[in-house]
């Protein structure tokens, strides 16, 4: 089961269903489930058009998916992956419920991009079976999955999730449980520093992105990427890093805070460091 039918949750459900897993996609809102399934169908249709998969494979994937608004339907699952909002209170509530509902053997995984797996695991009676599976966005395209061991995560749980990740044609990378793991601990300070260069008048967003694309061979500039991720998410992860390490190098740029307060969150709101149509 995948909990949360947003962009990440729908993507995770899709890659598991495409590989032959029987997947329940869960969300508290029926509308979110409908949107999630519509996104999956759109992705699959695009793949058929590009001849990456056949019409039969698309049909098989859809048949492997069911939707539910009832978390109690996790009672027969071997693996549950949580992909809800990046908020510790929400996540621990979900894990506490899942611990009560699911069989003893069930592995509970979180798609968190920065929150401590050890803290999430602590609200359950099975911390050895709690692990982080941090997929990258967009999930169907990106190969990396950071697998995060909590303090108590067992070797058996790690091996099971590593094998499952490989079966999805993804590349698992083992990471220990520290704020931001590897991906966001390296990426977010770079994005934050790019924002500081705009804040301090060193260069325009366009210039910063051009330097990083042409000079460092990045496929996308850091400010374009920040808009794609969502500036609210970037700010939240910077705050997790700042609080987790207590180091001033992780202090979020005041301009990032200002944009988030203004509701300029990037692509999803039509405005961030750039302006977007639709």
User: Would the CA dihedral through 93, 96, 102, 106 be positive or negative?
Assistant: positive
> Does residue 200 have an active-site annotation?
no
The two structure tokens encoding residue 169: 């044609």
Q: Kindly report the number of other CB atoms within 10 A of residue 106's CB atom.
A: 19
Is 86 marked within a binding site?
yes
6 annotated as ligand-binding: yes
The response to whether 5 counts as a known ligand-binding position is: yes
Annotated binding residue 64: no
Q: How far is CA 10 from CA 210, 224, 241, in A?
A: 32, 23, 27
Catalytic residue among 43, 111, 134, 192: 134
Give the active site residue among 111, 113, 114, 192. 113
Q: Which residue out of 26, 43, 146, 192 is catalytically annotated?
A: 146
22 included as an active-site residue = no
- 137 assigned ligand-binding residue: yes
Contact 130, 160 (CB under 8 A): no
249 is in an annotated binding site: no
Decide if 146 is catalytic.
Answer: yes
What is the distance between the alpha carbons of residues 173 and 194, in angstroms, rounded to a whole number?
A: 27
Cβ–Cβ contacts within 10 Å for residue 130, how many? Answer: 29
The verdict on whether 105 is a catalytic residue reads no
Is 20 known as a binding-site position? no
- Bridge partners, residue 3, by sequence: 26, 82
List residues forming the annotated binding site. 4-9, 27, 86, 91, 113, 137, 268
List residues forming the annotated binding site for NAD(+). 4-9, 27, 86, 91, 113, 137, 268
Active-site residue list:
113, 134, 146, 184
């Amino acid at each position: 089961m995948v909990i949360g039918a947003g962009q990440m949750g729908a993507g995770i459900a899709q890659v598991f269903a495409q590989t032959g897993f029987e997947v329940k996609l869960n969300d508290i809102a029926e509308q979110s489930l409908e949107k999630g399934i519509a996104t999956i169908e759109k992705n699959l249709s695009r793949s058929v058009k590009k001849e990456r998969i056949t019409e039969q494979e698309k049909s098989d994937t859809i048949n492997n998916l069911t939707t539910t608004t009832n978390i109690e339907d996790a009672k027969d699952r071997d693996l549950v992956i949580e992909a809800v909002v990046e908020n510790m209170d929400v996540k621990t509530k979900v894990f506490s419920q899942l611990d009560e509902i699911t069989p003893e053997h069930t592995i509970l995984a979180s798609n968190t991009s920065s929150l401590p797996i050890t803290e999430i695991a602590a609200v359950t009676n099975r911390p050895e079976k709690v692990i982080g599976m941090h997929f990258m966005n967009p999930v169907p395209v990106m190969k990396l999955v950071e697998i995060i061991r909590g303090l108590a995560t067992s070797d058996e749980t790690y091996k099971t999730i590593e094998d499952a990740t490989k079966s999805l044609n993804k590349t698992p990378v083992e990471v220990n449980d520290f704020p931001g793991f590897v991906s966001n601990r390296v990426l977010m300070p770079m994005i934050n520093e790019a924002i500081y260069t705009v804040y301090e008048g060193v260069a325009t967003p366009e210039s910063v992105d051009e330097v990083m694309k042409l000079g460092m061979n990045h496929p996308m500039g850091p400010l374009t990427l920040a808009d794609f991720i969502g500036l609210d998410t970037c700010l939240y992860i910077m705050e997790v890093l700042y609080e987790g390490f207590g180091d001033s190098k992780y202090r979020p740029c005041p301009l990032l805070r200002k944009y988030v307060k203004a509701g300029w969150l990037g692509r999803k709101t039509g405005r961030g460091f750039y302006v977007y149509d639709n």
